[in-house]
Structure 1
Amino acid sequence: MALSFHNTSRNLLKGAHHPSWSCRIAFRRPQLLARVSQLPSSSDIVELQHLNNLHNQRAASILSVDVQNDAGGPDYSLVQRNLALELVRVTEAAALAAGRWFGKGDKNAADQAAVDMMRKVLNSVAMDGVVVIGEGEKDEAPMLYCGERIGDGSMFPKVDIAVDPLDGTSLTSQGRNGAISVIAVAEQGSLFDPGPCMYMEKLAVGPQVDPDSVSLDYSVRHNIKWVAKALDKPVSDVTVLMLDRPRHADLIRQCRDAGARIRLISDGDVAGAIEVAKAGAPVDMMMGIGGTPEGVIAACALKCMGGHIQGRLWPRDEKERAAAIARGYDINKILLMDDLVRGDDVFFAATGVSDGDLLRGVRYYSGGASTNSIVMRCKSGTVRFIETYHKWTKPSVTNISLDDSDDSTAMNRRTNGNGSNTHPYGGATRGRGAGQRPPW
């Protein structure tokens, strides 16, 4: 339709005011003479020119591959597609694999299953990514190591990737709540590199709190007071979330002396930080010392949600302190949101492995499973909660059927000798009557 309009308007513009145009029509085709009065006037043609220009502008913006940059190649300065909607398949696959080890007492196996599936699905995503927040160095492969290139090899977009295939390995192995699989993606060079410091002090608040009113340099009492003021509630109703660690004994005492309530979690401070920014959540702020990689991932999520986080590197010993200083890190500097993640081309996705306040865990059915995920994009400010049902009879990168077999070598098997469906870990899929019916 657009092409037809374009050609029609172009022809009208070329011939509508030819000196002998109407005479030729009258002589050669008298039957068209009565229609001459219906042809466009000068004002109509100006309007057609305007509409045609708008049409061309829209086509150029939609087909961004045709827009050239200064180097003569495609201009991808504005990421048009919502990469987070593709990344959720990554966390779903990791959660489905890790959830199989829920309550089995083997946290390494749970973590390895999540890593393997996350890498497999990540390499199918159209992007050129580098892991900057991962699970170790290259010599610790097959973990998703820092510096690993991820994606299908596409030239664009070039991105930094922060991953935690299983945030809460101990939670999963012990059969406890709050484990998630998480990934964040941002423009290349925009994510903070934690270097040798694997821990940091953190202070996270929701969107209602002015980030300038709280600081890691201020007293605990001051920060709690200003959070209470921003949320229009008494200090006694403020709930502070932190990891249950011996190092937080003094922080817990200060919070209680200020009159606030304490909520302790054993692991999973990424999900905890997200809860702070979620409307109606049971916590109001997060404080304490936790992992630096988790702090960067949490910053990506909070930036998408409008929340705020501060951090300050916390070397565990003099050796780590000296290594950080030698690499140029200022260990006394407070890292604000834009220090942890720059720009607004930020995408975040997480899927629940075990039940938590933020996300429901994986549910396995006879013939499938369901997952609950959160997907966010900073540029648009959208936050989506996604419920996905996976059917083993329609295998894909996320539809990984699992049973009680421990054989993890048959990742590519889909059917057995008699043609019935076989899941990637070996063994035929159980029939509908063997267990709970799925909701589809």
Structure 2
Amino acid sequence: MPIDKKFIDQFVNVTSKAAIASSHFVGRKDKIAADKSAVDSMRSELNNMDIKGEIVIGEGELDEAPMLYIGEKLGTNNGPELDIAVDPLEGTNFAANNLPGALSVIAIAEKDNLFKAPETYMEKISTKAKEKNVVDLDYSVKKNIFNLSEYLNKKPEDLTACILDRPRHNKIIAELRDLKVRIKFISDGDVSGALLVTDEKYSVDIFLGKGGGPEGVLAAAALDTFDCSFQGRFLFETDKDKQRAKEMGIEDLTKKYDLNEIIKGDSIFCATGITSGDLVMGVKNEEDKFISETLVTHKHSGLKKVIKLNQKITR
């Protein structure tokens, strides 16, 4: 059954309240408290919804995370069966240090339609080019940039690439600089980084590099509503990672996943700002109300809708 649009406001409420709960700890140098506050709020709100929800991407395993763990059942057990992916606080360091870009994020799909991503790294690439064979994880950086340059009718030096500022990306960064590509570095928050390709106003043409697998799936859930592309490939470096992947049903550990293999069917994605960033404004406190802004995407029976919603919540 398609996901009823009535759930949009309900899920916006979930991320908005989680963002507000976390906002109390912005700038207090306590990322654990900021994250816990968002987790507690999100779990409480989800349990009040008339859904049969299951966390497929959460805070970790049951023994690592007592709330919003992978496999946790949520909701009143009345209503549709839904897969739920959450990142109650994307950018814990941003919140702790009052830096731009902290978000509260959730993605929902019909049961068995959202990829169950293990807690491991993922190679990722997202661009404005939806057509196949323009960019690909198997291509070199140079080939991807030249192909994208031709596709967008831009010179390589007029392209901007977004990448996490990490030592593991030094080789990619050096190649981008050799090609004279502009680079937008991000220190955390690669869900939002991957989404910067969705609109010309962000001036980002390609996002690439290695980041969290769960964050890759969350980004894909939003990108599915835009005319953009995404590819991801998990990196299993330890025997424990490989065993966990096999237990989750992943047989080919080197498989490259396209967007339509990560998320299928109807979906809802919500990202509410905690601190103001490129995508959305952060939580504001005006008189007796908190004001939050949420980026919402809704794919419903093939129709796609992207909106931004402002919500006022009385303290």
Q: If the length of structure 2 is used for normalisation, what is the TM-score?
A: 0.94
Question: 2:146 is matched with which residue?
Answer: 225
Match status 1:144 vs 2:91: no
Aligned mate of 2:166, from 245, 264, 284: 245
Q: Are positions 1:164 and 2:87 aligned together?
A: yes
2:232 is matched with 311
Q: Which residue of 2 aligns with 1:335?
A: 257
Alignment map for 1:371-382 (pairs within 5 Å): 371-379=292-300, 380-382=303-305
CA offset digits 1:4-46 (Å, max 9, x no partner): xxxxxxxxxxxxxxxxxxxxxxxxxxxxxxxxxxxxxxxxxxx
2: distance between equivalents of 1:370 and 1:334?
Answer: 40
Deviation at 1:231, TM superposition (A): 2.2
Q: Which residue does 2:133 correspond to in 1?
A: 212
Shift of 1:284: 1.0
In the aligned structure 1, how far is the partner of 2:269 from the partner of 2:154?
A: 30
* One-letter amino acid of the structure 2 residue matched with residue 134 of structure 1: G
Residues 317-369 of structure 1, C-alpha deviation per residue, up to 9 Å, x if partnerless? 455346546865322211111221122x1111110000101111111123122
Q: Quick check: 2:269–2:298 contact (8 Å CA) kept in 1?
A: yes
Read off the aligned partner of 1:130 and give its amino acid letter. E
Answering whether residue 6 of structure 2 is matched by residue 79 of structure 1, we say no
Matches within 5 A, 1:99-114: 99-114=23-38
- Counterpart Cα distance in 1 of 2:106 and 2:130: 26
The aligned residue for residue 39 of structure 1 is none
Q: Does 1:258 find its partner at 2:167? A: no
Asked whether the 8 Å contact 1:177–1:354 carries over to 2, the reply is yes
CA distance in 2, matches of 1:307, 1:182: 20
Equivalent-residue separation in structure 1 for 2:56 and 2:146 (angstroms): 36
Q: How many residues align?
A: 312
More helix by share: 1
1:203 paired with 2:125, answer: yes
Distance in 1 of aligned mates of 2:10 and 2:132: 31
Tell me how far apart the structure 1 counterparts of residues 2 and 31 of structure 2 sit (CA, whole Å).
40
Distance 1:124 1:101 in 2: 25
Between the aligned partners of 1:127 and 1:323, the Cα distance in structure 2 is 28
Matches within 5 A, 1:103-142: 103-142=27-66
Hey, what's the Cα distance between the residues in 1 that align with 2:213 and 2:174? 24
Choose which of 360, 382, 387 in structure 1 pairs with 2:281.
360
Alpha-carbon deviation of 1:243? 0.8
Distance 2:294 2:243 in 1: 40
AA aligned opposite 1:199:
Y
Q: CA RMSD in A?
A: 1.7
Instruction: Measure, in 1, the Cα distance between the counterparts of 2:289 and 2:132.
Output: 44
Give how far 1:80 is off: 3.6
Whole-angstrom distance in 2 between the partners of 1:123 and 1:318: 35
Q: Which sections of structure 2, spanning at least 5 residues, go unmatched?
A: none
- Which position in structure 2 is the counterpart of 1:193? 116
Residue of structure 1 equivalent to 2:312: 389
> TM-score when scaled to structure 1?
0.68
Judge conservation of contact 2:86–2:106 (CA < 8 Å) in 1.
Answer: yes
Q: Which amino acid aligns with 1:329?
A: E
Deviations 1:113-138 (A, max 9, x none): 00011111111222111000001112
Computing the radius of gyration from Cα coordinates, the structure with the larger value is 1
- Aligned counterpart in structure 2 of residue 92 of structure 1, from 16, 20, 41: 16
Show the counterpart of 1:179. Answer: 102
Q: Percent identity?
A: 40
Secondary structure of the residue that 2:224 maps to in structure 1? helix
CA distance in structure 1 between the aligned counterparts of 2:205 and 2:6, rounded to whole angstroms: 29
| Structure 1 residue 150: Cα displacement | 1.3
Corresponding position of 1:348: 269
Counterparts of 1:303 and 1:354 in 2: how far apart (Å)? 25
- Cα distance between partner residues in 1 of 2:40 and 2:250: 34
User: Whose RCO is larger (CA < 8 A, sep 6+)?
Assistant: 2
Counterpart check, 1:285 vs 2:209: no
Q: Which amino acid aligns with 2:311?
A: T
2:19–2:104: 8 Å Cα contact kept in structure 1? yes
Query: Which amino acid in 2 is paired with 1:91?
Result: T
SS of 1:225's partner is helix
Structure 1 gap ranges (5+): 1-76, 392-400, 402-440
